[in-house]
Amino acid sequence: MTEVYDLHCHSTASDGALSPAELVQRAHQHGVTALALTDHDTMAGIAEAKATAIATGIRLIAGIELSASWQDKCFHIVGLGVDPAYAPLAQATNNLQKIRLERAEKIAGKLEKKRIPGALKAVKKAAGDGMITRTHFADFLLSQNHVSSQQEAFDRYLAKGKPAYVATVWAELELAVNWITGAGGIAVLAHPLRYKLTANWMKRLLTAFKDAGGQGIEVVTGRINTDEIKLAADYAARFQLAGSMGSDFHSQVNPWVELGRLASLPGNIKPVWELLG
Ligand code: AMP
Ligand code: MN
Ligand code: MN
Ligand code: MN
């Protein structure tokens, strides 16, 4: 049987709209046979996803999407095939939950200064036991009619340089990669074109990432055109990184991104799943 892979998506454990069980069911309905759940900075959804995957008959790969700092910029590193019980990674996620709560308090404070009260209570309620993300703030701003789309919430309030932006010190890239590889996982640079780096900076990033033990790069993602796939594939080939594919699905409300709806990996790229045990 040929597997249909989707190696990047989010549940209510971070900023996804579906519970881990609903997410696995939806992936199955959309023809995915091997799904990696990769919530922001947490593995809290993995157990539920795994149970549903067993019941549904699809393969669940335990994953995470770690926020990491390199050269004072934030990068996302996807870990695939991680052991959720590996203590240093589990401990890191606990710290990240605290860091995210403290950041949320500061973001809410900044929104209050802009005469937008009530954000902290709302995002805490929406996130529940999960990670509080800027997506929760975007949804709050949308629900209160301060903006007319999630994108506008980022563009006007939450993105870097905007009034409610709070700079965060994430783990250094090397440490984040070490947590993943220590947990038996494969470290994959997420959505490489979203960082808007020049070719020279991309070269420096990928060199540092490989030196740290990174082995993969996302070549096919949810919102990417043929030219962009080619560009990402060129980076994979040049730096001898395995290619990954994942939708980065967050919500069924967004018609542009769907679980398993992905272009195929270019034939000259080593698929990252060949590295998964
Ligand atoms: P956080 O990790 O809490 O800073 O939130 C990052 C998440 O916010 C990303 O994973 C995206 O889901 C979302 N996000 C970041 N930037 C944007 C943007 N410009 N437009 C829409 N969503 C964004
Ligand atoms: Mn997200
Ligand atoms: Mn990301
Ligand atoms: Mn993501």
**pLDDT tens by residue, 191-239:** 999 999 999 999 999 999 999 999 999 999 988 899 999 999 999 999 9
Ligand 1 atom nearest 168 alpha carbon: 4
Q: Name the DSSP letter for residue 191.
A: -
CA angle at 259 for the pair 32 and 7, rounded to the nearest 5°: 70
Q: What's the CA-to-centroid distance between 246 and ligand 4, angstroms?
A: 9
Residue corresponding to tokens 């949320």:
104
Portion of the chain with pLDDT greater than 90, in percent: 97
The CATH code that applies to domain 5-92+172-275 is 3.20.20.140
Round to whole Å and give the CA distance between 253 and 64: 23
Beta carbon of 135 within 6 Å of any ligand 1 atom: yes
Is the pLDDT score of 65 beyond 70?
yes
Cβ burial, residue 39 (10 Å; 0-12/13-18/19+): buried
- pLDDT for the residue numbered 210: 98
- pLDDT for the residue numbered 79: 99
Q: For residue 186, give Cα distances in angstroms to 7, 35, 132, 211, 217.
A: 12, 15, 25, 14, 10
All structural domains of the chain with their residue ranges: 5-92+172-275, 98-158
**What kind of fold does domain 98-158 have according to CATH?**
DNA polymerase; domain 1 (1.10.150)
pLDDT in tens, 129-164: 999 999 999 999 999 999 999 999 999 999 999 999
Q: Are 186 and 8 in contact (CB under 8 A)?
A: no
Beta carbon of 15 within 6 Å of any ligand 1 atom: yes
Beta carbon of 67 within 6 Å of any ligand 1 atom: yes
CA angle at 126 for the pair 32 and 39, rounded to the nearest 5°: 35
- pLDDT for the residue numbered 224: 85
Is the pLDDT score of 277 beyond 90?
no
pLDDT in tens, 76-107: 999 999 999 999 999 999 999 999 999 999 99
The 3-state DSSP class for residue 246 equals strand
Average pLDDT, the chain: 97
Residue corresponding to tokens 């790069």:
217
- pLDDT for the residue numbered 99: 98
Beta carbon of 169 within 6 Å of any ligand 1 atom: no
Mean pLDDT of 6-35: 98
Dmax (CA) of the chain: 57
Dihedral of alpha carbons 260, 246, 141, 151, sign: negative
Dihedral of alpha carbons 93, 95, 96, 102, sign: positive
Q: Which ligand is nearest to the CA of 9?
A: 4
Amino acid at 216: G
Which residues have a Cβ under 8 Å from the Cβ of 86 and sit 6 or more positions away? Answer: 179, 182, 183, 184
φ/ψ of 166, rounded to 5, equals -125, 120
Q: Name the DSSP letter for residue 266.
A: P
CA angle at 260 for the pair 149 and 62, rounded to the nearest 5°: 95
* pTM: predicted TM-score of the whole model, two decimal places: 0.98
Q: Are 139 and 204 in contact (CB under 8 A)?
A: no
Q: What's the CA-to-centroid distance between 117 and ligand 4, angstroms?
A: 28
Q: For residue 218, give Cα distances in angstroms to 70, 87, 113, 248, 255.
A: 18, 27, 39, 11, 21
Is the pLDDT score of 110 beyond 80?
yes
Is the pLDDT score of 1 beyond 70?
no
Mean pLDDT of 33-59: 98
Pick the closest to residue 141 from 160, 116, 167, 107 (CA basis).
Answer: 116
